[in-house]
Amino acid sequence: MEEELKKERKKVILSGIQPTGIFTLGNYIGAVRHWGLMQEEYQCAYFVADLHSLTVRQEPAELRRRTLEAFALLLACGVDPEKSLVFVQSHVCNHAELSWILSCYSPFGALSRMTQFKDKAAKHADNVNAGLFTYPALMAADILLYQPDYVPVGEDQRQHLEFTRDVVEHFNGIYGNVFRMPEAYIAKTGARIMSLQEPTKKMSKSDTNPNAFITILDDPKVIVSKFRRAVTDSETEVCFREGKDGINNLMSIYSAVTGMSFEQIEHDFEGKGYGDFKAEVGSAVAEKLRPIREKFAELMADRSYLEQQCKIGAEKAAEISARTLLKVKKKIGLLLP
Ligand code: TRP
C-alpha cells in the first residue's frame, strides 16, 4: 500500500493572477499567501496572466512594468521557482494557440451568460471587444494545458472555472479522455477581505479611494494610518457579529496575519476601544508585510535574475503544455507538421 502511495503522482495546482497593479492585502490573504504554503504538498504552477489584461486597454510601458513586478511579487510572497513552475502567460505561446482551438468548442450562449463579461462590457462600453467575450476560453486553455487537479480561484472566477469544466465535458465527450477535470480549490481559511472604507464591498486595487485598500508594498506608516481611518460602527465592542462588517473585516485580517482565533482576539481586546484595536491590526499587518516588501525591493534591483527566472519558467511551461497541445491537435485532426 505504501509503495503504491509513493508512486502516486503529486496533485497539481494551477492558478494565475493579472498584472493589473500591486497585489492588495486581500489578494495576499485570500490567495497568494496560500500559493507559497501549498508548494510542499502539491506540484504547483503559477503564472502572470498578462494576455487576460489585454481585454481592457493598457498603457504599453505600464503593462510591461507591471508584468515583471507581478512576477517579482509572486516570488516575494513565497513562491519558490525551485519548487513550483512560475512564468508569464504570454511567454508560452501554447496558451494562445489552445485558446483558439477551445474557442471553437465554447458555445456563444454560455459565453454571453458570463457575469464578468456582462459587468466589464457595461463598465467599458466603448471597448467591448472579442477578447473580453472569449476570455473564458483563454482561461480554460491556461488551466487545461497543465492538467491540474485543483484550481484555487476567488468567488469572481468561479463561473469561469465552471465554464472550463463544461468545456472538458464537451471535449472529452467527443474525443475521449483528453483533459483532466479540474476542481475548484477552496482554501481552509478562505477569508474574503473587504474594503476598509465600505466593508460590504470586496477590497480592490482599482478602488478610487486609496484608503479603501492596502497594497502589500504600502509603507508601514501608510498601513497604520489607513487602518486608523477604517470604517467601523457606532458600538465599542470588538467582537465578530452579523452587521459589524467593518470590525468583522478587521478581525478576519488580524486573525489571518497573527493566526489568532476570533475568540482569542475578542478576549484580548475586551474592554479596549476600537482605536486600540485598529492600531494593533495596522502594526501587525505592517510587520507581516515587511519581509515581502524587502524581498520585492531586492528582486527588483536584480533585473537579470528576474529575467532569467522568467525564461526558465517559460521553457519548462512550454515543455509541459506542449504535451497536452499535441494530444489535442492529434485528436481534432490537425495535420502535424
Ligand atoms: N482570470 C483570472 C483573474 O482575473 C486570472 C486567470 C487567468 C486565472 N487564467 C487563469 C486564474 C487560470 C486561474 C486559472 O483573476
pLDDT digits (tens, 9 = 90+) for 282-326: 999 999 999 999 999 999 999 999 999 999 999 999 999 999 999
CB 18 near ligand 1, within 6 Å = yes
Mean pLDDT along residues 42-56: 97
Mean pLDDT along residues 31-35: 91
Let me know: does 65 contact 34? Beta carbons within 8 Å.
Answer: no
Mean pLDDT along residues 7-34: 91
Q: Is the pLDDT of residue 332 over 70?
A: yes
CB 159 near ligand 1, within 6 Å = no
Domains of the chain (ranges, CATH numbers): 2-190+303-332 (3.40.50.620), 210-296 (1.10.240.10)
Q: Whose CA is nearest to atom 9 of ligand 1?
A: 139
Sole residue written with cell 491556461: 142
CB 157 near ligand 1, within 6 Å = yes
Distance of CA 304 to the CA centre of its chain: 25
Asked if 83 is an active-site residue, the reply is no
309 is written with which cell numbers?
527566472
pLDDT category at 153 given cuts 50, 70, 90 is confident
Active-site entry in 11, 83, 205, 331: 205
Tell me the three state secondary structure of residue 202. strand
Q: How far is the CA of 140 from the centre of ligand 1 (A)?
A: 9
State the pairing for strand pair 43-48/183-185.
unpaired
Q: Which helix (H) or strand (E) holds 15?
A: strand 12-17
Q: List 44's β-bridge partners, or say none.
A: 13
Q: Is the pLDDT of residue 176 over 90?
A: yes
- β strands within 37-148, DSSP E: 43-48, 85-88
pLDDT at 143: 98
Asked if 272 is an active-site residue, the reply is no
pLDDT at 5: 59
Average pLDDT, the chain: 95
pLDDT tens track for 97-109: 999 999 999 999 9
pLDDT at 188: 63
Count of helix runs (H) and strand runs (E) in the chain: 15, 5
pLDDT at 8: 74
Q: How far is the CA of 218 from the centre of ligand 1 (A)?
A: 24
Residue from 58, 153, 163, 168 to probe ligand 1 pocket by mutation (most atoms less than 8 Å from CB):
153
Active-site entry in 7, 10, 83, 120: 120
Q: Whose CA is nearest to atom 13 of ligand 1?
A: 15
pLDDT at 16: 96
Mean pLDDT along residues 174-184: 98
Residue from 38, 58, 86, 157 to probe ligand 1 pocket by mutation (most atoms less than 8 Å from CB):
157
Asked if 120 is an active-site residue, the reply is yes
Q: How far is the CA of 300 from the centre of ligand 1 (A)?
A: 24
Mean pLDDT along residues 4-13: 78
pLDDT category at 206 given cuts 50, 70, 90 is confident
pLDDT tens track for 218-256: 999 999 999 999 999 999 999 999 999 999 999 999 999
pLDDT at 1: 55
Q: Is the pLDDT of residue 23 over 80?
A: yes
pLDDT at 3: 61
- Burial of residue 280 (CB within 10 Å: 0-12, 13-18, 19+) is buried
